[in-house]
Structure 1
Amino acid sequence: MRPSPDPRRVALLVLAAGVLSAGPAWAHDGTGLAGGFLSGFLHPLGGLDHLLAMVSVGLWGAFLGRPLVIALPVVFPALMAVGGVLGMANAPMPPVEIGIAVSVLVLGAAIAGAIRAPVWAASLIVAVFAIFHGYAHGQELPSTADPVGYSVGFVLATGLLHVAGIGLGLLNTRPGGMVITRSMGGLVTLAGGYFLFLAAVP
């Protein structure tokens, strides 16, 4: 019987693939999406803001433990779908790119600061951020050739990024692992600050 793959290695491979394919620009510039499953699957990996936020949700959930290690990766896609509907309807929203940048900054700070939020607070934070991410991508859906396939691919990739974050969270059980994961959170916080600067400066 073949041994099961090490979840940390799987997480690192998914994260590495995403980082290597991610550009410095936003994942949601609203232009020329071909549509279809593959396009939707690759899209979250092409924008560093979305990628970091998704991995951070999983990593923070792993840090917080049960039930949030399971709840947060469920709450995010569910509320992202709500945000997607709002985006398709062009419902009024605060500046979306600022909200997304703040999501990266806050999630990174929560990891770096080892913040142990209660279940309701962590769920609420992730839910609000998910609406911003979903809204941005919901505005793009009408321009895709296959909105359903695109959505399925996008949600699957988002889930895998959550799993990657959870896998990285397993480092916390290793000697010195907490220092590594909190340092990752610090880097994510810096990236969030940079994204916020880009979003706020005309």
Structure 2
Amino acid sequence: MVAVGLLAGCSAGRLRWGLPVSFVMAMVVGAMIGAGGVDVPFIEIGIALSLVAFGTALVWKQTFRAPVLVGLTAGFALFHGHAHGAEMGADLSAASYGIGFVMSTALLHAFGVLISTRMVQSGQQLSLVRWGGSAIAAVGAVSLGFLLVIPS
């Protein structure tokens, strides 16, 4: 979630808020699919791949166009949302649960945008964002390795 905020903070114009908004909207759709009991294969792998993709996008930001970033963001948000929806217990209020994970996600996005924006203002953005992107991609790669080696 922070990676999406960092990407958005590095972006200009509509993309600054378009990435987080597209993520949250697609995540809600994914949550409804998951809560509805629709089984989607490879959810955990999709989430791990999202870390690799978002981390890589932070490292190589200048090579990705806006439609690619929005597509990646919305596509991977479906996996994240499905996981939230599928994990919702029957004894929870769907509205309260949904508001909680949407607000948490939005706050993490805002945190990423704030950090990235502050780095731009201080002139440190490129190196710190690339370092952060490398760390995020590495965590995703390790997670993906565990998922592929030790299937559930």
Give the TM-score normalised by the residue count of structure 2.
0.91
2:28 is the counterpart of 1:81: yes
Q: What code does the residue aligned with 1:125 have?
A: L
Residue 74 (structure 2) aligns with:
127
2:39 is the counterpart of 1:97: no
Contact preservation (8 Å) 1:80, 1:132: yes
When residues 60 and 129 of structure 1 are mapped into structure 2, their CA distance, relative to the original with a 3 A threshold, is same
What CA distance in whole angstroms lies between the structure 2 residues aligned with 1:184 and 1:141?
31
Contact preservation (8 Å) 1:101, 1:192: yes
Q: Kindly provide the CA deviation profile for residues 105-138 of structure 1, in whole angstroms up to 9, marking residues without a partner as x.
A: 1101110223442222111110100000000111
Q: 1:67 aligned to 14, 30, 49, which one?
A: 14
**Structure 1 vs Structure 2: percent identity of aligned residues?**
32
Contact preservation (8 Å) 1:172, 1:181: no
Give the TM-score normalised by the residue count of structure 1.
0.69
Residue 199 (structure 1) aligns with:
147
Residue 111 (structure 2) aligns with:
164
Task: Report deviation, 1:64.
Answer: 2.1
Contact preservation (8 Å) 1:112, 1:181: yes
SS of the residue 2:61 aligns to: coil
Q: What code does the residue aligned with 2:3 have?
A: S
What CA distance in whole angstroms lies between the structure 2 residues aligned with 1:116 and 1:188?
18
Q: Kindly provide the CA deviation profile for residues 41-92 of structure 1, in whole angstroms up to 9, marking residues without a partner as x.
A: xxxxxxxxxxxxx000111111122211110110011100110111122324
2:121 is the counterpart of 1:179: no
C-alpha RMSD of the superposition: 1.4
When residues 119 and 144 of structure 1 are mapped into structure 2, their CA distance, relative to the original with a 3 A threshold, is farther
| Count of paired positions | 149
2:81 is the counterpart of 1:147: no
Q: What code does the residue aligned with 2:112 have?
A: G
More helix per residue: 2
Task: Report deviation, 1:144.
Answer: 4.2
What CA distance in whole angstroms lies between the structure 2 residues aligned with 1:199 and 1:66?
37
Q: Give the 4+ runs in structure 1 shifted more than 3 A.
A: none
Instruction: Give the structure, 1 or 2, with the largest relative contact order (CA under 8 Å, sep 6 or more).
Output: 2
Q: What code does the residue aligned with 1:123 have?
A: V
What CA distance in whole angstroms lies between the structure 2 residues aligned with 1:125 and 1:176?
26
Q: What code does the residue aligned with 1:183 have?
A: W
Q: Which structure 1 segments of 5+ residues have no match? A: 1-53
What CA distance in whole angstroms lies between the structure 2 residues aligned with 1:68 and 1:144?
38
Q: Which structure 2 segments of 5+ residues have no match? A: none
